[in-house]
Structure 1
Amino acid sequence: MYYLIFLYFSFSSLLVLALYRLFFHPLCKYPGPILAALTSWYEAYPNIVKGGGLVAELERLHKLHGPVIRVGPNTLHFNYRQAYHDIYTHGSTLVKDREFYSAIGVHAPQSSLIFCDPEVAKQRRGLLQPLFSRRAVMSLEYTIQQKIDKLLAILNDDYNSSSMAVSMAVAYRALTTDIITSYCFAESSNILESHGLSHPTLRGIEQAVKKAWFQRHFPFFVTFILNVPQTLILWLLPEFEGYLKMKARYERQVDCFLDNPGALSTAEHETVFYHLLEPKNQERPSRSSLLDEAFILVAAGGDTVGNACNIGTFYALKYPSIHQKLKEELDEIWVDKDRPMSYTTLEKLPYLTAFIKEVLRFSMGVVHPLPRVVGPSTPKIGGLKMPSGTIVEMSTTFLHMNPDVFPDPHIFNPDRWLVEDTNQMMLDLAPFSKGPRICLGLNLAWCELYLIFGNIFRRLDLKLLVTEDMIDNFAENCEDYFLPRWEKEYKVFVQNVN
């Protein structure tokens, strides 16, 4: 009897909730799938079952329903530039959606990525900012150049024939991970020195990205895994080996600095821990927070620039005219290729700069829409007044592929950036996001991109290995795993070895 009563009231409650969300909710006037209006689990299907298919699904829904669609009971997704800038560039009264970020960052819950309180985020950003200022980046330029030199030597020595080609996605991720670990911690992961550019750290980051949507929708499972004995984790999920080894390395480094603060001054250069362990006018982050911050810096710093370099190299080799223009410009100012060329010199090159901007437009940065919560004082979003508490979002894909700003957006064309007025395009170029939560490492990323591309196209003669399953167009094959991923790849080899 009591069981039947319980079922009756449960069913009645669900029915009332469904009717409210469909017909009486403040967002009921906005079009979208019925299932999305009923449950926030709507996006789980394209995320998990379709394997990173949410952005493709959003594109389909916008074509069907227009520029504003309801993608959750309390969530709207937009597809026009004014809305993007209202949410992210000028959205000082909006905050991160706590439920989303707590889930996507469940493996690093005390990192600044997860901070939703703007004041707390601002304080942590203040601690980290000195290491990522333009001045700091330029003072550590030699650290970046050393790793680039290492990669070029490996490509020359080990991948110099069509039978010994290398995946540039792997090569660049190894390079950028070595750069970020050396830059932030004065202790490189040395992935470039591993056989075949294979390393537990690299595999750990890759596995973390591939499981992004599982942890987004089932964060409790990840929390459980991270709290069981490591031997059991490795027995059940051996792919977690890389993550655990990386975590252990930073645990040792953090504990060393906590036990002996004087060790901070003996490092090769200032590290991220130097700034975090000696904060001014605020409490020092906990040991857990230090570890979480380290993990997020490595994951973000190794992946975003690596993706951009992978995309840029492909299009430069695919289109000989682009490759030739890069080489001619670099050859003219870089007479002795055995001597390093500075970042400040490279960033003055018009075509290289145009090429990098087009690369960043294609590579997106974070491809998944980043949800923000409307506050009581939030002005209109895209010309629409939203109720307080509404979740609003827009994927960078829709900004970067807007044909009104970027004609023929799916065509890789650096020349579009060589016109006299690029102000509107620059406003809509957002690979590092925009506004108060813009990526902290953008100065480092720009420096890496100039140095990597400059060295690759001046000092190597790369050849694209053409295969039947080679990727054809990055813009049309992107999968959304928070960061972009592609099923296919391409390989290159060095011809005319130095």
Structure 2
Amino acid sequence: MYLLLAGSALLSSYLGALALYRLFFHPLRQYPGPVLAALSEGYELYYNIIVGGGLVNEIEKLHKIYGPVIRVGPNTLHFNYPQAYHDIYTYGSTLVKDPGFYHSTAAHVRQSAFAFCDPQHAKIRRGLMSPLFSRRAVLELEYTIQQKPCLESITALPTRVWRCPLHTASLTTDIITSYCFAECPNTLDIPDFSHPIIQYVEETFQDYWLQRHFPILTDIINNGPQKLVLWLLPKFKGYAGLKSGLERQIDKILENPDILSSVEHETVYRHLLEPKGQERPSRTALLHEAIVFTAAGSDTVGNASYVGTFYALKSDTIRRRLFEELSEAWPERDTPLSYAALEKLPYLTAFIKETLRFSVGVIHPLPRIVGTTTPEIGGLKLPSGTIVEMSALFMHMNPEVFPDPYVFNPDRWLAGETNEMMHDFVPFGKGSRVCVGLNLAWSELYLIFGNLFRKVDMKLIIDEDTIDDFSPEQRMDYFVVQWRKGYRVSVARTAV
């Protein structure tokens, strides 16, 4: 009994001393923010899990109250101006990823380049994969996107109703798996776009915050008896299903490497399994990279397609201008038009840029750690070890760079000088850790939107169950953006 009382007293004393230090003696004590955020990482947990993806929305409110630099954790500052973003990400060669965040958030893919905090390790792994995602490779493999079962199938459908985002997620899943693995699950052929892999990817992102704050759950999922684990933790069913399917694919290749030379085009596995002068990644590393490509490659481009299609259909002017520009450049509808030709179309290009600005990409702040040789961050000299971050949302919704930022307006990209906007345009990140698949993503968006608005006649179905706008109230932070409602579209082929 006495030992219990003594232990409780010691714990209380420790917590009290820690609270006093963080509030009154910590190097970041002069930066404003909620007291609870200065005291505990539980502040982030509350908005991620209890509020359900509400952290970025809360940070928006905090900046309005406290100003451009706020303390959002005991040792974490969040910024809200472009100079700070570029100091952290674009030019931040002396900063490293925060292991506390990435080793938990990426608990299911710890051996992927995405999860590597050491810049040199990430550079080596990315160097193996980047040839598949160069502009030259994307142009050579464009046919994997143009041909069935991807774009041709969506434009050959009979009159029907599409449910978004399920339709766009199915489309981009078929594309990324065809491109990276030379295998396609044909999710577009499944009624109501209900293929299990779509559910798996969606649930994997929804589990992100459980992994972030309780990474041991992922270790249990990976190492425990699957039936028992999924009975106890049903929320991880999506991740387990995605993992199992990719494991079967990888095991077939490891058992018979000749498969790599018999597929119709190069895959990411060939680049990883045939490194030049480097150690071959392990089976686990192959699995983790495959999970990242499947989830990130389908969700981010799928989300952009989802957002852009909505705004094009909501505005008769935008839809008409897209169709007219595409029809003039593409008179023979049933003859494919190349990515290289589509990217020369000014209004389509402006529309895609505005779509990427609005859909953001990764919305959650990506924390970096200040090093001993780090120069100023946003004009501030910060102590080594300070965690700094800034959500891309604050770049894309900055009214000083993008006037009326919550208005979807492709014409902003056609009105005079756009250098400043492009400098602060960060849908794929910036700097050395920029998204390795950005060339593929651009190609997908040109080909998806080009085919849709040239070949398909779409109309929004508006009712109380569909989204009215992509407003902050509809937005949830699940690392990438998720929206509270979807929408439906009636679909028919265009007459000409």
| CA deviation after TM superposition for structure 1 residue 351, in Å | 0.4
**1:491 lines up with 2:488 in the alignment:** yes
The aligned counterpart of 1:311 is 307
CA change 1:23–1:414 in 2 (3 A) is: same
Q: Is the 8 A contact 1:203 1:239 kept in 2?
A: no
The aligned counterpart of 2:296 is 300
Q: Is the 8 A contact 2:89 2:430 kept in 1?
A: yes
The aligned counterpart of 1:57 is 58
Q: Which residue of 335, 351, 367 corresponds with 1:339?
A: 335
| CA deviation after TM superposition for structure 1 residue 496, in Å | 5.9
> Among the aligned pairs, what percent are the same residue?
60
Partners of 1:390 and 1:381 in 2: CA distance: 11
The aligned counterpart of 2:180 is 184
The aligned counterpart of 2:287 is 291
| CA deviation after TM superposition for structure 1 residue 495, in Å | 4.1
| CA deviation after TM superposition for structure 1 residue 107, in Å | 1.3
Which string of whole-angstrom CA distances, capped at 9 and with x for unpartnered residues, describes residues 435-481 of structure 1?
00000000000000000000000001101111123212214221111
Partners of 1:212 and 1:281 in 2: CA distance: 35
| CA deviation after TM superposition for structure 1 residue 497, in Å | 6.0
Partners of 1:305 and 1:7 in 2: CA distance: 51
Q: The residue matched to 2:459 in structure 1 has which SS?
A: strand
Q: Is the 8 A contact 2:32 2:70 kept in 1?
A: yes
Q: Which residue of 241, 254, 270 corresponds with 1:274?
A: 270
Normalised TM-score (structure 1): 0.96
Q: Which amino acid aligns with 2:153?
A: K
Q: Which amino acid aligns with 1:350?
A: P
Partners of 1:230 and 1:4 in 2: CA distance: 41
Q: The residue matched to 2:108 in structure 1 has which SS?
A: coil
Which string of whole-angstrom CA distances, capped at 9 and with x for unpartnered residues, describes residues 92-113 of structure 1?
1111000111111111121111
Q: Is the 8 A contact 1:33 1:71 kept in 2?
A: yes
Q: Which sits farther off after the overlay, 175-184 or 237-246? A: 237-246
Q: Is the 8 A contact 1:173 1:306 kept in 2?
A: yes
Q: Which amino acid aligns with 1:28?
A: R
The aligned counterpart of 2:90 is 89
Q: Is the 8 A contact 2:72 2:78 kept in 1?
A: yes
| CA deviation after TM superposition for structure 1 residue 167, in Å | 1.3
Which string of whole-angstrom CA distances, capped at 9 and with x for unpartnered residues, describes residues 296-342 of structure 1?
11000000000000000000000101111111100111001001000
Note the 1:82-231 alignment, pairs <5 A.
82-146=83-147, 147-153=150-156, 156-157=157-158, 160=159, 164-231=160-227
Q: The residue matched to 1:113 in structure 2 has which SS?
A: helix
Partners of 1:266 and 1:475 in 2: CA distance: 48
Gaps of 5+ in 2: none
Q: The residue matched to 2:333 in structure 1 has which SS?
A: coil
Partners of 2:458 and 2:286 in 1: CA distance: 40
Q: Which residue of 380, 397, 400 corresponds with 1:401?
A: 397
Partners of 1:64 and 1:453 in 2: CA distance: 40
Normalised TM-score (structure 2): 0.97
The aligned counterpart of 2:6 is 5
Note the 1:231-250 alignment, pairs <5 A.
231-237=227-233, 240-250=236-246
Q: Is the 8 A contact 2:207 2:236 kept in 1?
A: no
Q: Is the 8 A contact 2:155 2:493 kept in 1?
A: no
Q: The residue matched to 2:379 in structure 1 has which SS?
A: coil
Q: Is the 8 A contact 2:161 2:489 kept in 1?
A: yes
Q: The residue matched to 1:485 in structure 2 has which SS?
A: strand
Partners of 1:213 and 1:98 in 2: CA distance: 15
Q: Which sits farther off after the overlay, 398-407 or 182-191? A: 182-191
Partners of 2:477 and 2:452 in 1: CA distance: 28
| CA deviation after TM superposition for structure 1 residue 419, in Å | 1.8
Which string of whole-angstrom CA distances, capped at 9 and with x for unpartnered residues, describes residues 163-221 of structure 1?
x5221211010010111111101111221122221111111111111121111111112
Q: Which sits farther off after the overlay, 456-465 or 186-195? A: 186-195
**1:363 lines up with 2:364 in the alignment:** no
The aligned counterpart of 1:423 is 419
Partners of 1:45 and 1:144 in 2: CA distance: 41
Q: The residue matched to 2:477 in structure 1 has which SS?
A: strand
Partners of 2:469 and 2:347 in 1: CA distance: 21
**1:467 lines up with 2:468 in the alignment:** no
Partners of 1:423 and 1:409 in 2: CA distance: 17
Partners of 2:301 and 2:493 in 1: CA distance: 27
Q: Is the 8 A contact 1:177 1:302 kept in 2?
A: yes
Q: Which sits farther off after the overlay, 231-240 or 292-301? A: 231-240
Q: Which sits farther off after the overlay, 166-175 or 428-437? A: 166-175
Q: The residue matched to 2:321 in structure 1 has which SS?
A: helix
Partners of 1:242 and 1:16 in 2: CA distance: 42
Partners of 1:71 and 1:323 in 2: CA distance: 41
